[in-house]
């Protein structure tokens, strides 16, 4: 028992320092005794057989990666049009938790949250020459007056124009670390892999404004460290690598790559030192590390974050100035920092899940606990009332788990069928009222899905175990 508590309690220990102050919303209504979250009322179109999974062309062969297949099967997403997906309740809950973790990390380093329009005027993009440079990936449109806009894939122009409009900035106010979490748009020529490469997606984009190159580099390191902290809390083994600046521009860039075979990016790492880089930044014939001359190992990954040191590339165009210590106007030194929110969600599922079921970063599981009562009319049916009592006891005594416990009330199905579904959904803890629930005292079968352990616990043991679960 002690070992189980230690191992299962460690599943969410990474969130203890920062999770206590976040208010937790409830699905449907505020929950009290008699107000229970039940699976039968969830809007969750399930396609738990692979041959039933919907795709836009109706062919299961279109499902080219594990995360896409599983997310469609359990009803996290549903296709709307090529490269666009409806995010369904479980996916929205997980994404909201991810955004809360991102908010915690960004605000811990001084980030201030803003929200900019997705619709961006063409003149801003023409000022930086990116209206033409972005080519067909930029989704463009005209309003009824003939004015041109784009649906922003990123917001360097918009944020710099916003800061430039503030004419009385002082060096004493800097740095500014302004960020948002919003929908972004990119006209992908071949969207694929579900949320890993889509035309509409959620991104966290931060833009920083500093008073000097030295201060800007310090801010750059600060944000990169915050990214490392974020991925560590999520249990994702991301690698920070040197990268090309591309159409964003600037003089320095790094990607945060999650190693996985389905990844479209290739990067090289040196086992002998800390060097790592996207292969795009290396000479075609380069096989040795430029730092220590050791051999390079190539691997594939999914880019989940990207950082850029921009210098004055954008501030010089829009005249984003501040008054320096000598009372003279100076251009702000900028950086920009992206995180693919929906991509992180899908990439985590790709890396952590089994072939048959979702597995979540512990902080992001849509629901932490699933309770399975006996089948109606079975020999164990008398234990059904105990399951309801356990639900109420958990949600009343373990306050962080209010809104995190789900009751599978589909008692026309066997326990085995519902357990199979629970495994597919990946709830971290599945608690079953089976034969041993009729004992005195009652024992519940507890499945710790992320460790693969199964144990029988009394109600007191269940409460002790779940009291260690941390949620964001």
Q: Are residues 214 and 334 in the same domain?
A: yes
- The predicted structure's pLDDT at residue 188: 92
Predicted local distance difference test score (pLDDT) of residue 246: 87
> What's the CA gap between 98 and 364, in Å, rounded?
6
The answer to whether residues 348 and 371 belong to one domain is no
Q: Indicate if 377 and 410 belong to the same structural domain.
A: yes
Q: What is the mean pLDDT of each run of 10 residues along the chain (472 residues)?
A: 55 37 35 74 72 51 83 94 96 98 98 98 97 95 97 97 95 98 95 94 98 98 98 97 91 96 94 92 85 92 97 98 97 98 98 96 97 96 95 96 97 96 97 96 97 96 96 92
Q: Tell me, yes or no, whether 324 and 190 share the same domain.
A: yes
Q: Does 215 share its domain with 73? A: yes
pLDDT reported for residue 6: 55
Nearest to 208 by CA among 200, 198, 218, 199: 218
Q: How far apart are CA 136 and CA 424, in angstroms?
A: 39
Residue 18 lies in a domain: no
Q: Same domain for 126 and 180?
A: yes
Same domain, 317 and 389: no
Count of alpha carbons within 13 angstroms of residue 317, beta-carbon side: 20
Residue 241, both tokens: 């690598």
- 163 and 305 housed in the same domain: yes
Q: Is residue 13 part of a domain?
A: no
Give the pLDDT score at 55.
54
Domain count of the fold of the chain: 2
Q: Are residues 323 and 402 in the same domain?
A: no
268 is a domain residue: yes
Bridge partners of 113, per DSSP, are 179
What is the model's pLDDT at position 247? 85
Last residue of a domain, one of 352, 384, 417: 352
Do residues 344 and 458 share a domain? Answer: no
- CA pair distance 328, 362, nearest whole angstrom: 51
CB 347 within 8 A of CB 196: yes
Residues 157, 116 contacting (CB under 8 angstroms):
no
Tens of pLDDT, residues 83-120:
999 999 999 999 999 999 999 999 999 999 999 999 99
Q: What residues form DSSP beta bridges with 149?
A: 121, 141
CA distance readout (Å), 414 to 46, 294, 310, 391, 420: 18, 58, 59, 20, 10
- At 317-332, the pLDDT tens digits run 999 999 999 999 999 9
Same domain for 385 and 345? no
Is 217 a domain residue? yes
In a shared domain, residues 455 and 330: no
CATH number at residue 191: 3.30.930.10
Residue 408 is part of which domain span?
Answer: 367-471
Q: Which of 352, 383, 406 is the last residue of a domain?
A: 352
Sign of CA dihedral 388, 393, 398, 400: positive
- By CB atoms closer than 10 A (0-12, 13-18, 19+), residue 159 is buried
Q: What is the CATH number of the domain that holds 426?
A: 3.40.50.800
């Amino acid at each position: 028992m002690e070992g189980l508590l230690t191992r299962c309690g460690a599943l969410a220990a990474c969130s203890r320092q920062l999770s206590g102050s976040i208010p937790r919303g409830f699905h449907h209504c505020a929950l009290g005794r008699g107000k229970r979250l039940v699976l039968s009322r969830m809007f969750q179109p399930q396609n738990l057989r692979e041959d039933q999974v919907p795709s836009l062309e109706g062919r299961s062969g279109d499902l080219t990666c594990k995360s896409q297949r599983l997310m469609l099967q359990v009803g996290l997403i549903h296709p709307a049009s090529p490269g666009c997906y409806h995010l369904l309740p479980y996916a929205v809950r997980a994404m909201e938790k991810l955004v809360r973790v991102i908010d915690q990390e960004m605000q811990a380093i001084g980030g201030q949250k803003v929200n900019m329009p997705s619709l961006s005027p063409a003149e801003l993009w023409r000022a930086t020459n990116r209206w033409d440079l972005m080519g067909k990936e930029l989704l463009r449109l005209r309003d009824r007056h003939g004015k041109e806009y784009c649906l922003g894939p990123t917001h360097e122009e918009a944020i710099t124009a916003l800061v430039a409009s503030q004419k009385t900035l002082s060096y004493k106010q800097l740095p500014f670390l302004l960020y948002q979490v919003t929908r972004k748009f990119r006209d992908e020529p071949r969207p694929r892999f579900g949320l890993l490469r889509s035309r509409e997606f959620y991104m966290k984009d931060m833009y920083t404004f500093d008073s000097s190159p030295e201060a800007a580099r310090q801010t750059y390191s600060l944000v990169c460290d915050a990214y490392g902290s974020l991925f560590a809390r999520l249990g994702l083994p991301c690698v920070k690598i040197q990268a090309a600046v591309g159409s964003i521009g600037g003089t320095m860039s790094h990607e945060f790559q999650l190693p996985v075979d389905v990844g479209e990016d290739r990067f090289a790492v040196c086992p002998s030192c800390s060097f790592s880089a996207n292969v795009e930044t290396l000479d075609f014939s380069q096989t040795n590390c430029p730092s220590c001359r050791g051999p390079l190992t190539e691997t594939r990954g999914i880019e989940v974050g990207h950082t850029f040191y921009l210098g004055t590339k954008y501030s010089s165009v829009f005249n984003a100035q501040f008054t320096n210590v000598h009372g003279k106007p100076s251009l702000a030194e900028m950086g920009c920092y992206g995180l693919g929110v929906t991509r992180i969600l899908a990439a985590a599922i790709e890396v952590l899940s089994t072939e048959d079921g979702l597995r979540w970063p512990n902080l992001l599981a849509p629901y932490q606990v699933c309770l399975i009562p006996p089948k109606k009319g079975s020999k164990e049916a008398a234990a059904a009332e105990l399951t309801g009592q356990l639900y109420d006891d958990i949600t009343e005594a373990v306050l962080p788990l209010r809104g995190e416990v789900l009751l599978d009330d589909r008692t026309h199905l066997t326990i085995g069928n519902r357990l199979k579904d629970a495994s597919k959904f990946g709830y971290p803890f599945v608690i079953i009222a089976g034969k041993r629930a009729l004992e005195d005292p009652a024992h519940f079968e507890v499945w710790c899905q992320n460790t693969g352990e199964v144990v029988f616990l009394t109600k007191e043991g269940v409460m002790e175990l779940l009291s260690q679960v941390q949620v964001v």
